Amino acid sequence: MIGPLTQISRTEHLPARIAAQFAQQIQEGDLKPGDRLPTENEMSKNFGVSRTVIREAIAQLRNEGMIETRQGVGAFVIGRPTRHIRLDDRRKMDPHGFRDLFQLRVPLEIEAAGLAATYHRAEHLRQLDEALQRMKVTDDGAGDGIIADLDFHRAIAAATGNDYFVQFLGAVSDRILQTIVESRERIRLDEIVAIVNREHTELRDAIAARDPVRARAAMRTHMVGSAERIALRLEFYL
């Protein structure tokens, strides 16, 4: 007996594929909020896989906030989809998407600089100096320098005292630097590194001086410079 064509052929993780199938049905509106999914046993029979796999697929959808399960009742498509934010891997190399990402980063970094100047504590200054030191030591721009750069900005985000900035900026700038590293492995940082260090130092001093306006200006300058260095055309109104 040959199963129907909708059955899952196995070249990859079964649960992920089944979850994707249901996610698509929800996205396309075939399954509307409030609708009940088939029982696990039914799915198990229909897809030709064990209930274990079905359960893992459902658990995945539940974690993503698309469905809700009630013991003894069933699984239901969630009403108001909790907005999860995800930086898709798809547009990683897309230059347009890259510009969009940078465009998003700029205001966050500037605001973070201002808040960091206001709210930072001694430990944050220590983190900033530590990252600065590492950037100056490692003349090699490619490897540790990039990581130290990332840590420097991460420290600024931490200094805001606002965990959302840590999360958002962490994800965004992490993704940006990753793309840079991947696309231009051999970027010539030798001449640039001095400029970046100067900008970072000014940024650090402005924060240490608890001067939000100066910190914001410094970060703005740094962002403009960064954009130019990677040949990005952006608008800066302030």
Sites of contact with a second copy (CB under 8 A):
15, 52, 55-56, 59-60, 63-64, 80, 82-87, 100-101, 103-104, 106-108, 110-111, 114-115, 118, 160, 162-165, 167-168, 170-171, 174-175, 178, 212-213, 216, 235, 237-238
Scanning 36-44, 158-166, 184-192, 215-223 for contacts with DNA by CB under 7 A, the matching segment is 36-44
Q: Single out the segment in contact with DNA by CB under 7 A; choices: 9-17, 79-87, 129-137, 185-193.
A: 9-17
Q: 220, 238 in Cβ contact below 8 A?
A: yes
Q: Residue 232 burial (CB < 10 Å; 0-12/13-18/19+)?
A: middle
Hey, what are 236's tokens? 């800066």
Q: State both tokens at 102.
A: 């940078």
Among residues 60 and 193, whose Cβ is nearest to a second copy? 60
Q: Which does residue 9 bind out of DNA, a second copy, none, counting CB within 5 to 8 angstroms by kind?
A: none
Amino acid, res. 36: R
Distance CA 229, CA 238 (A): 20
**Do 31 and 37 contact (CB within 8 A), yes or no?**
yes
> Rule CB under 7 A: is residue 161 a binding residue for DNA?
no
111 binds, among a second copy, DNA, none (CB under 5 to 8 A by kind): a second copy
Site for DNA in 115-134 (CB under 7 A): none
Q: Does residue 7 touch DNA according to CB under 7 A?
A: no
Among 9, 24, 27, 41, binds DNA (CB under 7 A): 41
Query: How many Å apart are CA 20 and CA 140, to the nearest integer?
Result: 43
**Tokens for 130?**
């530590």
Least distance (Å) between residue 167 CB and a second copy: 5
Do residues 172 and 111 lie in contact, with contact meaning Cβ atoms separated by under 8 Å? Answer: no
